Amino acid sequence: MRDSVYLDHNASTPCDPRVVEAMLPYLTERPANPSSRHHHAGRVAARAVEEARAVVARCLQAASPSEIVFTSGASEGNNLALKGAAAALASRGRHHVTQVSEHPSVLAPLSTLGRRGFEVTVVGVDRSGRVDLGRLASALRPDTVLVSVMLANNETGVVQPVAEVARLARSRGAVVHCDAAQGAGRLPVSVVELGVDLLTLSGHKVYGPKGVGALYVRRRQPPLRLEPLVEGGGQEGGLRAGTVNVPGVVGLARALELATAQLDEETSRLGRLRDRLEHGIRGRLEGVTVNGAPPRLAGTTNLSFASVDGAALLTALADLAVSTGAACSSGAPEPSPVLQAMGVPRELAAASLRFGVGRFTTEDEVDRAVERVVGEVTRLRRGRRR
């Protein structure tokens, strides 16, 4: 097999060596449990956790480190935010609003809430992949207590108008949740400018470790007291029982710090690589459509290939790490619901690939990917015409 080219950075990013360096002491010579504060080693671990919390809060422009809750990732954070808020706000109302192209870790818990007697309205998106603000405004009701809209789509990279959504929702007194797993580290993320009450992110999307994430919970009046999913130890302000993953939170903080510091430079470079990939493929192949309109994440493109079997194309490109959609849904035979919600015909949605360039992607790798995609699409189209 040819040397593999990794272009699936939306699914997961490699851990930056600088992040690994920050984590190593807490994997080896500093093993203590941060809850064991009666001895020095435990206090060292506890201090590392609190320093990491302060860094994450600063990167998100949160008012206080106490607004940051460490989790196992964005999926857990989304579940805690949505189910926890539903329980906390049930006396005020039981109506929640979201949009159709959210990640499954948002849509699934909302669906579960629907089966538990809550009411959920799912608003459509336009052909660009952006939420319809008019429909969202019309969906808001006196008993609407929570609105959830992602920052950037995991399949198309389309950036959602979260600040506008938040203004609409908060004018009706609703709490606003944002899944920022794809946007954090790739876009400026200020909880103040976005106007959100709850925001989730994941370490392995920002060149940090897998298995760690954070949930921002705004301090507000009256307080939003989420109901925890995991009980038993009182950690994380009582919102998540269990020993805190010290190496993980140290790595998450360092990864987010690095991404924030080099955001402008990295965004510019990734945008050039993405454009090189798109132009290289579309300049040599007809019938290639870009799914999603600007603003998009700099490193993400989703392309549909007319007159090609999508499964056959993905199999033929085994040496390219690309995706047909959300990583957690990659085993599903159905074409992407996100693309179909945007009005992409089913056949084209089934013949679509997501490419995600990243921090360590080179121009040579992009050019090799272009050659492979052009060659295999050409071959498959010829076979189809026979």
pLDDT tens per residue across span 251-278: 999 999 999 999 999 999 999 999 999 9
Q: Which of 83, 124, 85 is nearest to 105 (CA)?
A: 83
CATH value of 5-13+263-385 in 2.40.128.280, 3.30.70.260, 3.40.50.720, 3.90.1150.10: 3.90.1150.10
Q: State phi, psi for 290 to the nearest 5 degrees.
A: -85, 125
Sign of CA dihedral 156, 186, 226, 43: positive
Q: How far apart are CA 382 and CA 386, in angstroms?
A: 7
* pLDDT band per the 50, 70, 90 thresholds, residue 28: very high
Residue 161 has pLDDT above 60, yes or no: yes
Domain boundaries, the chain: 5-13+263-385, 17-261
Task: Give the CATH fold of the 17-261 domain.
Answer: Aspartate Aminotransferase; domain 2 (3.40.640)
Instruction: Give yes or no for residue 123 having a pLDDT over 90.
Output: yes
> First and final CA of the chain: distance in angstroms?
27
Place of tokens 């994941």: 202
| pLDDT higher than threshold 90 for residue 240 | yes
Q: Tell which residue, 199, 133, 146, 198, has the closest CA to residue 172.
A: 146
CB 256 within 8 A of CB 117: no
pLDDT at position 1:
43
Residues above pLDDT 90, as percent of the chain:
93
Half-sphere exposure of 145 (CA within 13 A, CB side): 20
Find out whether 177 and 215 touch, Cβ atoms under 8 Å.
Answer: no
Region 77-102 average pLDDT = 98
**Of the candidate ranges 14-23, 332-341, 373-382, the one whose mean pLDDT is the lowest:** 332-341
Average pLDDT, the chain: 95
Are the C-beta atoms of residues 182 and 358 closer than 8 Å to each other?
A: no
Q: Which residue has the tokens 């959609």?
A: 325
Q: What is the mean pLDDT of the segment spanning 174-193?
A: 98
Please give the pLDDT value at position 192.
97
Residue 326 banded pLDDT, cuts 50, 70, 90: low
Global pTM? 0.96
Mean pLDDT over 295-302 rounds to: 98
CB atoms within 10 A of CB 40: 10
Is 328 catalytic? The answer is: yes
Q: What is the pLDDT of residues 362-375, one digit of tens each?
A: 999 999 999 999 99
* Rounded Cα distance, 145 and 174, in Å: 4
Q: pLDDT tens for residues 333-342?
A: 689 999 999 9
- Check residue 364 and give its pLDDT: 98
DSSP string, 221-245: SS---PPPSS-SS-TGGGTS-S---
Amino acid sitting at position 117: G
In this structure, what token pair is assigned to residue 72?
């196992």
Question: What one-character DSSP code corresponds to residue 284?
Answer: T
Tokens for 3, please give them: 């040397």
Using CA atoms, how far apart are residues 20 and 255, in angstroms rounded to an integer?
9
Of 15, 59, 178, 328, the active-site residue reads: 328
Is 80 exceeded by the pLDDT of residue 385? no
All residues at 6 or more sequence positions from 241 whose CB lies less than 8 Å from its CB, including other chains: 228, 230, 231, 232, 233, 234, 235
Extract the runs of DSSP E, i.e. beta strands, from the chain.
5-6, 68-71, 95-99, 119-123, 144-148, 175-179, 198-202, 213-217, 288-290, 300-305, 320-321, 352-356
